[in-house]
Amino acid sequence: MTEFLIGRGHDGPARVGVYRMGSTKVQTPFLVGSPNTESIIGYATLGRNDSPSGGPMILAVPSPIHDSKSFISDAREDDSILLPSFPAVSFLGAEAAELMLESQLRFINEIQGMVDPSRLIVRIPRQLAPEKLASILAEFSSLGVRAASMLFDGWLGPQDYSVLSSRTMLPIDWLAIALGRISPSSIPFLFYLGFDVFDLGYAAESASRGVRLWNLSEESITGGILPRNCSCTACADYSDLRELDREKLHAVLLGHNLNIYQSNLSESVQSLRLGRLRWLVESMVHSSTAATSLLRKTNKSLFAFLEEFTPTSGQTNLSLIGPESYNSPTVKRFRDCLSSRSTPPEHKTLVLLLPCSARKPYSESKSHQRFIKTIERAIGAARSSVAETILTSPLGVIPRELERLYPAAYYDIPVTGDWDIEETEIAADALVTHLQKFAESVVIVAHVSGGYLDVVKSAEDRVTQSIVYTTDQHSPSSFDSLQSLQNTLNDMREVLSLKGGPPALFKDTLRATADYQFGPGAGEALVPDGAKLGGKLYRMVVCRVDKEQTCAFIGDRGSLSLTLEGGRRLIPLQRYWVRFEGRKLEGGSIFAVGINEADPRIRPGDEVIVLNNQDELIAVGRSEMSGREMCDFKKGQAVSVRHKVV
């Protein structure tokens, strides 16, 4: 019996887990290679090499031109088996590709009873339409197959897009194996896309060609150029590799090449644990135009897949270093949620557009403290009728009420003041969408300059409200600009008859956060009129309704924690629910095995409500996986319970 168990922790589709081959437990992700390379698991072809020996291996069955069945008996109980297929045939088109899968299905039927299907690995051909692939894979799944391999040929590029899109079609609890030529720099990328096993063949092939692999390039050890210095365990003793004899050189190159795969893989795993894998991927693709275009295409076309497994909360700094970040799952999801979920409070009659600041949350930065002081000086308590709206790249617009939210409070960009066309467009679109939510009578005051001003200008035609500009090209925090802002607001007080009302910052913040987290209606459900709010935004604000707490705003996450009462209030919205197959909870966690149904909106890190099989609320907590995973996985923690009904 072979089994793949996915462990805790997520960063995009990447995951860690255990591949159990009989009694051997292999941590995923892992490397596969010839037994003589120091790979974690060895591979070989049945009937071609010596009979398998040592630990469990991955064994390929030779081509269907042979009597493939006859080879099976050489495999041992714990070995996994790559199903037989033909090379290159799928390039004859979709029909041929489909036949490649059908012939594997046929083979499984032929060997029925000889091999436990959980040991089998289906080879996914290129060139197959994703829907077709998904339906054929369902057949493999029903036969008990739990692993698939896909093929790559060297440094990643747009040609690999179809393989990545096939990857997204795999049942989520399958082991995904990347075979072929895998360059070391592809490892973070492929791991991020949800591959669990990586072929070391390219390390061996390169060594056999006298090539030393690096993350950014390949180094041929020949001729006139002095080889680079490398302090890895394989190279450290040799100052000039050209002086080595053939055998020795090969051993050193192989050792070095394996080292770089191992180090890239371990860096990828650590990055996952730190929530920095996406950053690692973006950093590594920048060295290659081909890989960069692949990532951009992936962002765009496989967004739903990437997003589904990307946590909605995080504590680490999110470095958004270049155009590949503009549509990364965290960033685009923020823009999408803001546009589809947030509604500005009705009492806002003036929108004040402000530039972002390097320090987060913005209101703690010097520039924003000046803005706030100026606003208060100008209109005092009427500040509550001002929708302070921050423009920023690549998140677009951020209402003051959401400035502490992830990722708004955690991102970092290289600040130069110059915006490229794409980021200007992204921000302008976000601005237009956001302003459409305000009444036409609302006045927009744009207290921005430079790139921010360009954003407003390029949105202007599509904005129905009138816009007043204050800065006259000076820096918004300059004395002159602030003076001008104060004067403008002063004027507006009369024009719009701004009035001071009760302070609304807490209520606005909690409602906006609730809508963002749970969708429209959640704000009113959790923070109804008359709710008592107390605390500090930067620490915690507790919301009570009739003395009963519904939720608390946690300052350093910028998000809400639910109480059971809060959970009950969310039930009618029918969002973010998990159905536990039982009446009552034992213990402090809920495991995937106990869940057959959950809201597919749920992402790792979301606050969720747990219902029992009679639709009663039994707990609230934090999801550890996405909704689909809770339903499909048989093991693993699905929800960390915060409160439960006792």
> Interface with another protein by CB under 8 A: which residues?
34, 43-45, 48-49, 60, 62-65, 82, 85-89, 91-93, 95-96, 99, 102-103, 106, 110, 123, 151-155, 179-181, 183, 199, 201, 204-205, 208-210, 218, 246, 250
230: partner contacted, choices another protein, Zn ion, none (Cβ within 5-8 A by kind) = Zn ion
CB of 63 to another protein, least distance (A): 6
**Complex with Zn ion: residue 230 or 492, whichever CB lies closer:** 230
User: CA 231 to CA 239: how far, in whole Å?
Assistant: 10
**Complex with another protein: residue 219 or 308, whichever CB lies closer:** 219
- Considering only residues 504 to 543 of the shown chain, the ones binding Zn ion according to CB under 5 A are none
CB of 244 to Zn ion, least distance (A): 13
Q: How many residues does the chain have?
A: 646
Torsion of CA 571, 572, 576, 580, to 10 degrees: 50
| H or E, element range at 28 | strand 24-28
Residues whose CB falls within 8 Å of the CB of residue 344, separated by 6 or more in sequence, listed in order: 387, 399, 437, 438
**Residue 478: other Cβ atoms inside 10 A:** 14
**Complex with another protein: residue 5 or 89, whichever CB lies closer:** 89
For Zn ion, how many residues bind (rule: CB under 5 A)?
5
> What are the angstrom distances between the C-alpha of 114 and each of 67, 107, 110, 123, 510?
15, 11, 9, 20, 61
CB of 208 to another protein, least distance (A): 4
**Complex with Zn ion: residue 104 or 257, whichever CB lies closer:** 257
* Closest of 329, 331, 341 to residue 392, by C-alpha: 331
Residues whose CB falls within 8 Å of the CB of residue 319, separated by 6 or more in sequence, listed in order: 279, 411, 412
317: partner contacted, choices Zn ion, another protein, none (Cβ within 5-8 A by kind) = none
CB of 47 to another protein, least distance (A): 10
**Complex with another protein: residue 44 or 395, whichever CB lies closer:** 44
82: partner contacted, choices another protein, Zn ion, none (Cβ within 5-8 A by kind) = another protein
CB of 128 to another protein, least distance (A): 14
Torsion of CA 492, 493, 495, 500, to 10 degrees: 130
**Complex with another protein: residue 151 or 610, whichever CB lies closer:** 151
CB of 25 to another protein, least distance (A): 23
User: CA 415 to CA 272: how far, in whole Å?
Assistant: 26
- DSSP assignment of 462-483 equals T--S-EEE-STTS-TTSHHHHH
Instruction: Report which DSSP code applies to 324.
Output: G
**Residue 278: other Cβ atoms inside 10 A:** 26
**Complex with another protein: residue 111 or 542, whichever CB lies closer:** 111
Give backbone dihedrals phi and psi of 111, rounded to 5 degrees, phi first: -100, 15
Q: Do the Cβ atoms of 440 and 464 come closer than 8 Å?
A: yes
235: partner contacted, choices another protein, Zn ion, none (Cβ within 5-8 A by kind) = Zn ion
CB of 149 to another protein, least distance (A): 8
**Complex with another protein: residue 287 or 487, whichever CB lies closer:** 287
Instruction: Choose which of 10, 146, 167, 256 interacts with Zn ion (CB under 5 A).
Output: 256
**Complex with another protein: residue 214 or 591, whichever CB lies closer:** 214
**Complex with Zn ion: residue 230 or 618, whichever CB lies closer:** 230
| H or E, element range at 5 | strand 2-6
Q: Do the Cβ atoms of 611 and 617 come closer than 8 Å?
A: yes
- Considering only residues 219 to 248 of the shown chain, the ones binding Zn ion according to CB under 5 A are 230, 232, 234-235
| H or E, element range at 109 | helix 94-110
181: partner contacted, choices Zn ion, another protein, none (Cβ within 5-8 A by kind) = another protein
251: partner contacted, choices another protein, Zn ion, none (Cβ within 5-8 A by kind) = none
409: partner contacted, choices another protein, Zn ion, none (Cβ within 5-8 A by kind) = none
User: CA 21 to CA 264: how far, in whole Å?
Assistant: 24
**Complex with another protein: residue 88 or 646, whichever CB lies closer:** 88
Residue 317 structure tokens:
């700094």
User: CA 464 to CA 224: how far, in whole Å?
Assistant: 68
154: partner contacted, choices Zn ion, another protein, none (Cβ within 5-8 A by kind) = another protein
Q: Do the Cβ atoms of 412 and 317 come closer than 8 Å?
A: yes
Q: SS3 string of 50-85?
A: CCCCCCCEEEECCCCCCCHHHHHHHCCCCCEEECCC
Binding site for Zn ion (CB under 5 A): 230, 232, 234-235, 256
